[in-house]
Chains A and B, each alone.
Chain A
Amino acid sequence: MREESATEIGVRRDVIPAIELDHVSKHFDGVKAVDDLSLAVAPGRIFGLLGPNGAGKTSTIRMMLGIMIPDSGAVRMFGAPLGRRSLGQAGYLPEERGLYAKMTARENLVFFGQLCGLDAAGARRKAEAWTERLGIEQRLDDKVEELSKGMQQKIQFIATVIHDPAFIVMDEPFTGLDPINVNQLKSVLSDLRAKGRAIVFSTHRTDQIEQLCDSICLMNHGRSVLQGSVREIRSGYGTHFVEIEYDGGGSFLDGNPLIDSYDRHADYVEVRLKAGADAQALLRSALVCSRIRRFEIKEATIEQIFIDLMSRRDGDG
């Protein structure tokens, strides 16, 4: 898989990207946190930023939002350099949640709404509408410290979108939420995408990336390792994975020159083929000693690609 340039990842040339990083680098004390990174996110798309701890995701996000200034390269929001006006269109949900614990949820939301350009009355109205939508309107006048972690998370989410930003950055937005609330917020994110908002979504959870994101950037050691649309990446990664359900001995698995590795599950085995190996040849060898009930050639999941790439890079290193 080749690395793609910023203009190729789902952003048409005639569309002004919501956010665009152009050969951006940032270093601290000689360590490169972000190294020559380029990416672009179009309006109406959810963009996943994926990478292990220390990959440079947070620094990238901070530079997207003007919290940090890059050492080199350019950051543009809706085609303009970052400034007060362009940043007014941004909403940010940081990984570490930040609300004033001694203030009520309403006071927090009105304060952050006002900082993002709303007047007090408008911020109050929006706070009420959003809390009603997320089903926590009855807790609006409770102090944040009195709310459950999940509710605090929802208040934080509302603080991010209260001013209806066109560009939204969410760093691990579902941490601490139960599955019902996760689904509720996913539905809100999908609505925002449908309304044309550009969303950058940073997470370790590859399943969430697959469910929500249109395109991704996989980062490691400050560099972009892989970029593109989720669909293209999965289909272009090669059909290296096969799921097999069989009766009888599994002797075809051991010492098979076609197989790189395999994992046994309860009623099937997941096989990773060696590069260039033919799945049909594996099927033939399996039929020799076993009765095959299911033989499914699968696209690699984002998780598999992630692990594969990371282990390969670490092996190279």
Chain B
Amino acid sequence: MSATVSSDSVAHVEYVLRIADSSLILGHRLSEWCGHGPVLEEDIALTNVALDLIGQARSLYTHAGALEGNGCDEDQFAFTRTESEFRNVTIVELPNGDYGFTIMRNFLFAAFQRELWGALQASAEVPLFEIARKSLTETRYHVQHASDWVIRLGDGTDESHARMQRALDTLWPYTAEFFSPSAIDDAAIGHAIGPAWSTLESGWLSAIRPVLDIATLLIPARTSFLSRGKEGRHSEHFEPLLREMQYLQRTHPNCIW
């Protein structure tokens, strides 16, 4: 094996980490609902989603570690990297807000993930393709679960409708980041690893629009706002999240439990 790392293989790992980190961080956020859900059934439903997401992240980290070849395992990726090394989209690190906000984010993100896993079915990279295939089933359910609630709450009482519209208005600008072009994507297409995320926008839009319509929610206009978590530039909410998530490994390095 050559010791020099080409910029393409760095891009390759980053492409995988971007997906892994987004799953992990949303999984962590959802885990904060554990024991606090509005009803027992929803508490368990959200925890199931969280566990699915963390499972996706674990497989992807293991794959990223193999690509890198430096012996980095899933725990090291999750618990020892610093803020700017994380490549998750910013939307997943935002605080949970009320239940409607959490659901709206799950809806927007899961619908995006579904497009991504779908497109990764064409990946030339076998492990990535396998992970995408398994994750697609999970994500389909996440979309279904979130869609149900978006409709119930959006087309519910005046109060729930107002909250869901507010959640959509707040979250919408962050969805632009899903599709912002990047050099990482160019490298990924070059090696048939995965799609350029920008190509997923139209499929995503036509999937979410009917649900938002039934929910009587209005899609806001696009602005020039663009978050940059994919490049490692995160919101002010990310550092406290990492501090809590990484506390144990930071305090007791290499501990196993």
| A associates with B | no
- Interface set of A (CB-CB < 8 Å, partner B): none
- Interface set of B (CB-CB < 8 Å, partner A): none
